[in-house]
Structure 1
Amino acid sequence: MKLLKKMIQTFISVLILVLILYITIMIIKPEKITSHLNYQFYTVLTDSMEPKIPTYSLVLVKKFQIDENIQLQPQQIITFHADRFGQKIIITHHFNKTEITDEGITIYRTNAEGKDQLDIYQTTREDLIGTYLFHIPYIGKIVLFLKSKFGFILYGEFLSIFLINALIKSRWEEEAQRHDE
């Protein structure tokens, strides 16, 4: 009976460690886990899509395949890479229309929620990430915290508590075995 209880405790401990590792990897480097999947989470950092998508929402995006022929509908919400003041960022906005440049390049024009004015971004096929599926309001704030230095400190605290707890339990079990003998 004691052996079975010990095996169950060990299994649960390993399961918790694997779960913590998985969550940590998903938060720090989600592309490592989801690179083979067709979906990706992103955090909305601005109010450009309010009230439809609140700031700090976690957005699930279905990624485009590289060879996929993309057919977007006007006002469909998409996520794409953009160059904003020399900095590469990821934006989620409404698709508005396509334009062909003089060089024959297709440009995907987008706009923010409730705005008729088109974005200034020259979004090409290579910049497109995927289409919006749904969002979870305000959860992105938690994800951002867990990616921060303070989040890493929190992970360290949880790991320390877990290890100290395991050490104390093993010492108690040793003492209990000594008293039983």
Structure 2
Amino acid sequence: MVLCLPLTVPRVLGFEIYTVVSGSMEPAIPTGSLAYVQGAQPEEIEEGDVIAFYGGRESTAIITHRVVENNTLEGEFTTKGDANEKEDVSPVPYRELIGEVAYTIPTLGWAAQTLTSTWGKASAAAAIGGALVLHLLGAWIRNRREEREEG
């Protein structure tokens, strides 16, 4: 239940949540981190801000990189992953911007991906079911003991 809080509360507050699956932003954002992204006006993004954006018109990939330049005249960003030697090949048009990364939580992304997978959901359901069975069994044993002591 507690693991659900980092996934649900921020969504209510307007954040999009993504799992970082590559090392392009290490060490600042380790692989497996959860990135919390809040919508932002492209013109307000500054050099050094970390943004999340779509990887291109035909791509569903979401990329998280640092802004090297915000070209407001052309309506595009120049970006670069911290661990990459060079800037990204193509500039990022404003229309591809998802938002600015507000904060990250290392490692929690892997847990979130696991819990939202079919296997993860089945495992969580089995764990909850097992805990319920143990609770009921404990209550039954306690009641039997009390009955024997009374009778």
Structure 2 length-normalised TM = 0.75
Q: How many Å separate the matches in 1 of 2:118 and 2:140? A: 33
Q: CA RMSD in A?
A: 3.0
Secondary structure of the structure 2 residue equivalent to 1:87:
coil
Partner of residue 164 from structure 1, selected from 125, 133, 136: 133
**3-state DSSP of counterpart to 2:12:** coil
Structure number with greater CO (CA < 8 Å, separation at least 6) is 2
What is aligned with 2:34? 58
Q: Please say if 1:23 is aligned against 2:35.
A: no
Distance 1:47 1:25 in 2: 22
Match of 2:118 among 140, 146, 149: 149
8 A contact 2:52–2:65 mirrored in 1: yes
Partner of 1:118: 88
CA distance in 1, matches of 2:119, 2:127: 12
Number of matched residues?
Answer: 148
Aligned-residue identity in percent: 23
**Equivalent runs, 1:37-116 vs 2, <5 Å:** 37-61=13-37, 63-64=38-39, 70-83=43-56, 86-95=58-67, 96-101=69-74, 106-113=75-82, 114-116=84-86
Question: Which residue number corresponds to residue 136 of structure 1?
Answer: 105
Whole-Å separation in 2 of the counterparts to 1:136 and 1:59: 7
Query: Please, which runs of 5 or more residues in structure 1 have no aligned partner?
Result: 1-18
Deviation at 1:45, TM superposition (A): 0.6
Does structure 2 retain, via aligned residues, the 8 Å contact 1:81–1:123? Answer: no
Give how far 1:111 is off.
2.1
* Partner-residue secondary structure (3-state), 2:56: strand
Distance in structure 2 (CA, Å) of the matches to 1:69 and 1:55: 26
Cα offset, 1:40, TM superposition: 3.9
Shift of 1:97: 1.9
Q: Describe the SS at the equivalent of 1:151.
A: helix
Question: Which consecutive residues of structure 2, in runs of 5 or more, have no partner in the other structure?
Answer: none
Residue type of the partner of 2:33? Answer: S
How many Å apart are 1:108 and its aligned residue?
2.9
Change (3 A) 1:54 1:149: same
Cα distance in 1 between the residues matched to 2:47 and 2:6: 35
How far, CA to CA, are the matches of 2:133 and 2:91 in structure 1?
Answer: 52
Q: Which residue of 2 aligns with 1:3?
A: none
Displacement of 1:92: 0.9
TM-score between the two structures when normalised by the length of structure 1: 0.65
